[in-house]
Amino acid sequence: MTAAEENKDLYRGEQWFIAPDEIQSHGEVKVIGAYLSLFCTRIEWALKLKGVEYEYIEEDLKNKSPILINSNPVHKKVPVLLHHDNPIVESLLILEYIDEVWKEKPLLPQDPYQKAIARFWAKFADEKCVWGAWGACQAEGEEKEKAAESAMESFAFLEKQIEGKMFFGGEEIGYLDLALGWIPHWLNVMEEVGDLKLVDAEKFPLLQEWTQRFIQVPIIKECLPAREKLVNYFTASLSYTLGDLKLVDAEKFPLLQEWTQRFIQVPIIKECLPAREKLVNYFTASLSYTRSLKASHQ
Amino acid sequence: MEEVKLHGFWPSPFSQRVIWALKLKGVEYEYIEEDITNKSELLLKYNPVYKKIPVLVHGGKPIVESLVILEYIEETWPHNPLLPTDAYQKAIARFWIQFGTDKPCFRTFFQASGEELEKAAKEILEILKILEEQGLGDKKFFGGDTINLVDIAHGWLPLWFESIEEAVGVKVMESTTLPRLHAWIQNFMEVDVIKENLPDREKVLVHMKKLREKFVANHSN
């Protein structure tokens, strides 16, 4: 019997329990993540704070591995925590699991009421702040103003929550700090790329001070992805949304599309192609330049 | 024992979840009916972020968001556990509690017409298929032999979602396409605590129909 078949019997056909054959069973704890993902860094912070050793597996989200698909068949997303090859998914749920299994340095408050409050704000921030901020970055004109206003209303709630505290967790960082830890680094880049300022010392002084304190904590600092790579990534995402058009595809021009596939496979053709990523960056920069020229002439 | 109060709205499946959990735990509470078309000062004070029910108030302290409230109840009154004690099983249960709840397609289904409605119905069917196959599997309840928080979280599918289906005029949950979920609904509605704590079905249907009329009128503008 293969490991997969064995597991299937054990868990009565619940597919997502099946341990993928490709994973070697050295190391109890594994994290499947994407280097730039703010949802994944949360998990690494939590494990490092608890002193848990883990193996990190980088996932190419444009070409999802069998390991990821087997571990998270429902959503096929990162992060995934594998503990004894058992997969746990959804970043906030993973934080709760980590806190329950490794009890030193608790992340969540012990008091049920305080715990409920922390859970509420983490959920709120993920729903309203992350997507609110990114939505505002992507929007243009009047829509951008409206989206920014709405996002700032959400941040205003967080400003109130940090009042009188060093960290959202109190004297030390906790679950909510990790859940909001995208603000100092990722939001900063989103704001630069999206050309707007949502959180600054003027609007939200207390939140701003928290971001400075948080980012200085050594364990936090060492897990941050390189700023430049984040800038490139968000810039590319932004233009993909803005550029966002398909001129030649299999539906509109099937014969032409087939030719592109044949042509690109010819070895001599293939070996002279410039790196796609560099092309994306180049066109992205050109797009922004043209846009800014247009804007300044209006 | 500190006072427990629940601010709810009679046709809301979200406040019903909390009622079921409190009853299963045998917790005595005072129920306060909120008119959501004319929200009380107290509600706005307790839930300034979303201004919604349900709100559980324990010893004067408010907890909001029904799923957060369910976890709070579980932790505060740990007898008759409604979540597995094993950390991994608990993580799985929490995954299924969250799965499919609050997906935009449900809202669209309720509000839209024509192609948009069709698309939403398809999405909902896919979600429920996954819930049935991977969440429920061969079990009688999501909680195994007895109901737990996962069952409670999806307990809006009978009666409430069924009323919405009727109001919209589109049936997604057929016994032929979702046999296991259909069986789960029959079993779930037979559980004493559930059976004894349901709003009037006819009244809920009337309420959903009124909402549907309003949505269709607004949506086309």
Q: What is the ipTM of this complex?
A: 0.92
**pLDDT score for A88:** 97
Find all residues with CB under 8 Å of A16, minimum gap 6, and list them. Answer: A70, A71, A72, A73, A74, A87, B134
Q: What is the pTM of this model?
A: 0.82
Contacts of A157 in chain B (CB under 8 A): 49
Burial A172-193 (b: 16+ CB within 10 A, else e): ebbbbbbbbbbbbbbbbbbbbb
Rounded CA gap, A122 and A116, in Å?
Answer: 10
- Per-residue pLDDT tens over the stretch A77-92: 999 999 999 999 999 9
With beta carbons under 8 A apart, name residues in chain B contacting A119. 68, 71
Q: What is the pLDDT of residues A31-69, one digit of tens each?
A: 999 999 999 999 999 999 999 999 999 999 889 999 999
Round to whole Å and give the CA distance between B113 and B120.
Answer: 10
Residues A44-73 as b or e (16 or more Cβ within 10 Å = b):
bbbbbbbeeebeebebeeeeebebbebbbe
CB-based contact A74 B87, cutoff 8 Å: no
Q: For residue A259, what are the CA distances in angstroms to A198, A248, A269, A271, A272?
A: 47, 11, 13, 18, 18
pLDDT at A23: 38
Q: What is the pLDDT of residue A225?
A: 93
Q: Is the pLDDT of residue A235 over 70?
A: yes
B209 contact partners, CB below 8 Å, separation of at least 6: B166, B167
Which pLDDT does position A167 carry in this prediction?
Answer: 94
Q: When comparing pLDDT for A6 and A112, which is higher?
A: A112
Which of the four pLDDT bands, split at 50, 70 and 90, describes residue B130?
A: very high
Which residues of A are less than 8 Å from B138 in CB distance?
12-13
A97–B88 C-beta distance less than 8 A: yes
Can you tell me the mean pLDDT for A4-27?
39
The per-residue pLDDT for B115 is 94
Note whether A123 contacts B90, CB cutoff 8 Å: no
CB contact under 8 A, A96 and B94: yes
Choose the weakest-confidence range: A2-6, A103-107, A145-149, A231-235.
Answer: A2-6
Q: Given this model, what pLDDT does residue A16 score?
A: 36
The encoded tokens of residue A107 equal 């992340």
- Say how far apart CA A106 and CA A127 lie, in whole Å: 25
Q: Is A13 in Cβ contact with B63 (below 8 Å)?
A: no
Cβ within 8 Å, pair A100-B138: no
Encode pLDDT of A107-148 as tens digits.
999 999 999 999 999 999 999 999 899 999 888 889 899 999
Nearest-by-Cβ selection for A14 from B90, B98, B137: B137
The residue in chain A having the minimum alpha-carbon distance to the alpha carbon of residue B130 is A74
The answer to whether residue B92 scores a pLDDT higher than 70 is: yes
H helices then E strands: how many in chain A? 16, 4
How do residues A240-274 score in pLDDT, each as one tens digit? 655 555 566 666 677 776 777 777 777 767 777 77
| Residues with Cβ within 8 Å of residue B205, at least 6 apart in sequence | B163, B166, B167
More confident residue, A236 or B81: B81
> How crowded is the C-beta side of B187, counted as CA atoms within 13 Å?
18
Query: Residues of A with CB below 8 A from B134's CB?
Result: 14-16, 73-74
Indicate the residue type of A101.
Answer: V
What is the pLDDT averaged over residues B32-41? 94
Task: Please check the confidence at residue A13 and state whether its pLDDT lies above 80.
Answer: no
B149-203 residue pLDDT tens: 999 999 999 999 999 999 999 999 999 999 999 999 999 999 999 999 999 999 9
| Mean pLDDT rounded to a whole number for chain A | 83
| Long-range Cβ contact pairs of B176-185 (< 8 A, separation 24 or more) | B177/B125, B177/B129, B178/B125, B178/B128, B178/B129, B178/B132, B180/B132, B180/B133, B180/B136, B180/B137, B180/B138, B181/B128, B181/B131, B181/B132, B181/B136, B181/B157, B184/B132, B184/B136, B184/B140, B184/B141, B184/B142, B184/B151, B185/B157, B185/B158
Q: How confident is the model at residue A298 (pLDDT cuts 50, 70, 90)?
A: very low
Is B141 strand, coil or helix? Answer: strand
Is pLDDT larger for residue A279 or for residue B123?
B123
- Please indicate whether residue A10 or residue A122 has the higher confidence score (pLDDT): A122
The structure tokens listed for B130 are 């996954």
Nearest to B27 by CA among B74, B95, B84, B91: B74
The answer to whether A72 touches A124, Cβ cutoff 8 Å, is: no
Predicted local confidence at residue A240, as pLDDT: 60
Please say if the pLDDT value at position A17 is more than 60: no
Q: Which tokens belong to A230?
A: 């984040």
User: B137 and A12: CB-CB below 8 Å?
Assistant: yes
Residue A101 at interface with chain B, using a CB cutoff of 8 Å? yes
